[in-house]
Chain A
Amino acid sequence: MLTTLCLLLAALLLLVLPAALGLVRLLRLGGALVMAGLAVLAVLALLAPSAAVMALPLGPPWAAALVALDPLSAWFLLLLGLTGAFAALLINPGPRHDMVCFPLFLFGMALCITAADGFSLLLGFEAMSLASWAILHERRAARLYLIFAIFGGGCLMAAMGLLAAGAGSLGFAALRAAPPEGFAALAVLLLVTLGAGAKAGLAPLHLWLPLAHPAAPAHVSALMSAVMVKVALYVILRMVFDLCGPAQASFWGMPLLLMGAASALLGALRANLENDTKAILACSTIENVGMIAAGLGLALMFRGADMAVPAALALAGALLHVMNHGLFKCLLFLGVGVVLEQAGQRRLDALGGLLHNMPVLGWAMLVGALSAAAVPPLSGFASEWLLLHALLGAWRTGDALFQFAALVALAMVAMAVALGAAAMLRLWGLVFLGRPRSPRVAGAEDISGLGCVALLLPAALSLLLGAFPALALGLMQPVLAQWLGPAVAMPGGVLGLSAGDAGARYMVLPAILLLGVLALVLWRGAQWRGGGGATRAPAWDCGFIAPPVHLPFGNAATQPSGEGFAQPISRMLAGPLMAARENVVVPPPGSMASAEYIASSADPTWRALTTLRAARHAMSNRVDRFRALSVRHALGLLFATLVLLLAVLAGLERP
């Protein structure tokens, strides 16, 4: 199995050739096949878990590179394989270096996930960062992305160095045998949380994400959002859960829990304020990564308190959400890419009414949007149900500090869930419902051929995972057993999910069945008095008249705009946190100019960085004044320093 894995990895590298030659079709099919192969391999590895490690005949001078496919790696490889295959199908011909970097990007992620030694893990991580950096099309976003990537990589290297210092080798088996202790362990936790957190987009290190993800072509942004941030979470899982050993205190979960909850809230709030479809999806990624991180933090807390059942619940929820979010976010990003290609627009205010022209895409994306909105019976609800139940059970740890942290996290995550739903409805509703806001939008054409495969398959998988979350939990069982002991209970069965020993159950199948039956009963019942078929008429719109002839879709300004739709949330919530401002410019009486509504907001981290930069400027200005001193003053300063130093020395020398 590991040989096949190595062959597939090599095949990924070989795909650079067709990419460099500009053979897009070969790249598409080859990429999709290799990624599908990886997915199949991952499923096999999950069905028959093994801890085998293979040494490659290459690597750094001091040791061979190791690869392995344990259940945790396999779970993330499954996500990479599935979404990578969908994304590869939708590669659009672009600049040569974009094409070349795409297989390298995939290779970096696959290597990072399957590595079994620290060097290969970091190599894959950095390859992933650099390859995706090279594909970004906006200079500012790319620069910010690179800064954060270097910061993250540096932190991870330091953490790996600390781990290896005790073990003397970089192989995971050796690292596991010598877990860090005391301050070294704390430093590892801190460095990994910061380093991988910067890559995962956890607040307050999320700044690059809403800029970088929209700056790439659709298939790359899909993978960046669906998998790349998850690879960072994988690194957290690998280094904190696995390599640091099982005997860590409960408080290890705190940073992840709090950062996760803060990211969830901030991401969801920002998703409601953005006007660019891709930026909305990127912010929603921050939200979902935050929820997953909160779940991981909870799992660490429960494990530290020796509570295996709730730990399994939290970990299962987080891992299930990894898969669910990967699938629906891949679908949504690819769909938005198709919209951009067909309608030429990314801004909410320029789209609209696309469901008439693009029904297949629209309905597929509705599945994704509703999954992201965590509405039962779709997939997002299942995993968030598990996560919320884990949060609801967090008070059982008994420690007052954790209890209050969990209380705050619960309120923040609950608000994030509602805000996330609002953002997704805003996105889908403004893009697909209503009337076209520009003529080109009216001429968009629906997906066909490969596009159908690449978009309908993730939608179908989302539906499947929504209806049978236990299927995914069954596959995940070896991962849970790997961390929490082989006897750990899986939080689910054939009928649906169950939340540990508290007896809560979400019976998905009966619920879906009942929902269908009730809808059918209502549908028949509504025919009871024989109302007859529906007719069509102009929209009533509270008595507004029909649009003039030269505006076939009516005046776009009478439809809710992206900013208008965001206004209540912006006013109610974003004031202090996001520095949201509204400005209405009304022309003077008699002027025929239109009034303008300008809404603005700024991320808190961005404002903090701006303050820091201003402080640095002020400081350097002040220091600069020393350069203008006269010789007399300079000599006096020198003399004073000398006297001061001598005085200090004399003070230190005194017995």
Chain B
Amino acid sequence: MMLGLAAIVTQLMHLALVLAMAPVLVGLVRLVKARLMGRRGPALLQPWRDLAKLLRKRPVLADGATEISRAAPYVACAATLFAAVLVPGFAQGMLLAPLADLLLLAGLLALARVALALAGMDVGTAFGGMGAARELSFSAFAEPVLLLCILVLAMIAGTTNLDAMIVAFREGGVGLRVSLALIAVALLAVGLVENARMPADNPATHLELTMVHEAMILEASGRHLALWELQAALKLLVWMALLSAVFMPWGMAPAGAGPLAWLLGLVAWLGKITALAVALAVFESAIAKMRVFRIPEFLGVALLLAALAVALLFVSTGLA
């Protein structure tokens, strides 16, 4: 009974937390990047202010737009929010933990990507279609890497359920493994591409020819644009939470723990996310954007690393 109550409470708190935190996370990355460039940068809450401003404005739909343009932001945002709700943050054993299958998580992110691509193609503008084509071709490289990483995690933890996996990692004494290190790098690369971050796409660009993610939402405005911005922020949070949950599962409140453990878990989670955000900002400031057609090499290296991780695991389990 207590367990059930704790599961519900933590789940609701987690939902509120990710919704509140996602734009702040984007603000944090922007702020750190600005500081690294020697600018003062926008306030931490600036993304929230932008969202509030956009929500106040009425959306302008292009002439040829269909219902796709209206529905896609909600579908994409709901799917990403769903994914964000599934990835454990400060506590384990949340209400939806049994749903947190890694393949479902990948599927939800794919649903969001599909909605985004359809929205980009809706009006039939050149840049929207170009962005959609590029986004979909990136996914063809990202998906195999993701699946191989899931294979490594499933082999080590014995399950593809995220919550059970974290329990196995924390209590099973998995220890340091070369395979885990390799897929951490591979997952970081996929995360960068999926989130349209620096070597793949410049989130701050104004040049349409180099855009990928932004090109698809060029025609969005008002609350639709607000939802797309929120979706992008949530996706970044999903990936950061996923990386920190799998590779840094320390400090998380175990299932059925009390409020004190939650508080500790919250502090730990915020610390991990902040560290990842700062690392992202530093990385983005230090590196230049790649040509679009160099991305396959970037993700190809990730694929090789993941395959190497699997092979190492095969060999080590074969010897054991």
Measured CB to CB, the residues of A under 8 A from B are 352-353, 355-356, 370, 373-376, 381, 385, 388-389, 392, 395, 398, 400, 403-404, 407, 410-415, 417-419, 421-422, 425-426, 428-430, 433-435, 499, 502-507, 510-511, 514-515, 518-519, 522-523, 526-542, 544, 554, 558-560, 564-569, 571-573
Shortest Cβ distance from residue A536 to the other chain B in the assembled complex, whole angstroms: 6
Instruction: Report the separation of the CA atoms of residues A166 and B99 in the bound assembly, to the nearest whole angstrom.
Output: 51
In the complex, which residues of chain B have a beta carbon less than 8 angstroms from the beta carbon of A572? 137, 140-141, 293, 295-296
24 CB < 8 A contacts A-B: A355-B66, A355-B68, A356-B66, A376-B108, A381-B107, A407-B311, A414-B146, A433-B68, A433-B118, A434-B121, A435-B64, A515-B79, A515-B82, A519-B78, A529-B56, A531-B222, A535-B61, A536-B62, A536-B63, A537-B62, A539-B219, A559-B125, A560-B129, A572-B137
Instruction: Report the separation of the CA atoms of residues A507 and B96 in the bound assembly, to the nearest whole angstrom.
Output: 10
Q: Does B189 reach chain A (CB closer than 8 Å)?
A: no
SS class of chain A's interface: helix, strand, loop or mixed? helix
Closest to B53 in A: A529
In the complex, which residues of chain A have a beta carbon less than 8 angstroms from the beta carbon of B77? 519, 522
Instruction: Report the separation of the CA atoms of residues A417 and B106 in the bound assembly, to the nearest whole angstrom.
Output: 12
In the complex, which residues of chain A have a beta carbon less than 8 angstroms from the beta carbon of B68? 355, 433
Contact A536:B61 (CB < 8 A) given known A519-B78, A559-B126, A560-B129 = yes
Mark contacts of B85-117 with chain A using CB atoms, 8 A cut-off: 1 yes-contact digit, 0 otherwise.
Answer: 100000000001011010110011011001001
> Is A510 a contact of B99 with CB atoms below 8 Å?
yes
| Further pairs besides A374-B110, A433-B66, A433-B123: 14, Cβ < 8 Å | A376-B108, A381-B107, A410-B151, A414-B143, A418-B139, A422-B139, A505-B98, A515-B79, A515-B82, A522-B77, A526-B74, A539-B123, A569-B133, A572-B293
> Is A542 a contact of B127 with CB atoms below 8 Å?
yes
In the complex, which residues of chain A have a beta carbon less than 8 angstroms from the beta carbon of B177? none
Q: Does B132 reach chain A (CB closer than 8 Å)?
A: yes
Residue in contact with B103 in the complex, picked from A353, A385, A554, A559, CB distance below 8 Å: A385
Instruction: Report the separation of the CA atoms of residues A571 and B155 in the bound assembly, to the nearest whole angstrom.
Output: 34
Closest to A417 in B: B143
> Is A502 a contact of B160 with CB atoms below 8 Å?
yes
Measured CB to CB, the residues of B under 8 A from A are 52, 55-66, 68, 70, 74-75, 77-79, 81-82, 85, 96, 98-99, 101, 103-104, 107-108, 110-111, 114, 117-118, 121-130, 132-134, 136-137, 139-144, 146-148, 150-151, 154-155, 158-161, 164, 208, 218-219, 222-223, 226-227, 292-293, 295-296, 303, 307, 310-311, 314, 317-318
Residue in contact with A434 in the complex, picked from B124, B151, B223, CB distance below 8 Å: B124
In the complex, which residues of chain B have a beta carbon less than 8 angstroms from the beta carbon of A542? 125, 127, 208, 218
> Is A528 a contact of B219 with CB atoms below 8 Å?
no
> Is A502 a contact of B158 with CB atoms below 8 Å?
yes
In the complex, which residues of chain B have a beta carbon less than 8 angstroms from the beta carbon of A415? 140-141, 143-144
> Is B103 a contact of A400 with CB atoms below 8 Å?
no
> Is B129 a contact of A392 with CB atoms below 8 Å?
no
Instruction: Report the separation of the CA atoms of residues A532 and B222 in the bound assembly, to the nearest whole angstrom.
Output: 9
In the complex, which residues of chain A have a beta carbon less than 8 angstroms from the beta carbon of B218? 540-542
In the complex, which residues of chain A have a beta carbon less than 8 angstroms from the beta carbon of B159? 502-504
In the complex, which residues of chain B have a beta carbon less than 8 angstroms from the beta carbon of A564? 129-130, 133
> Is B110 a contact of A567 with CB atoms below 8 Å?
no
> Is B58 a contact of A535 with CB atoms below 8 Å?
yes
Contact A375:B114 (CB < 8 A) given known A411-B147, A504-B161, A536-B63 = yes
Residue in contact with A375 in the complex, picked from B110, B150, B160, CB distance below 8 Å: B110
In the complex, which residues of chain A have a beta carbon less than 8 angstroms from the beta carbon of B161? 503-505
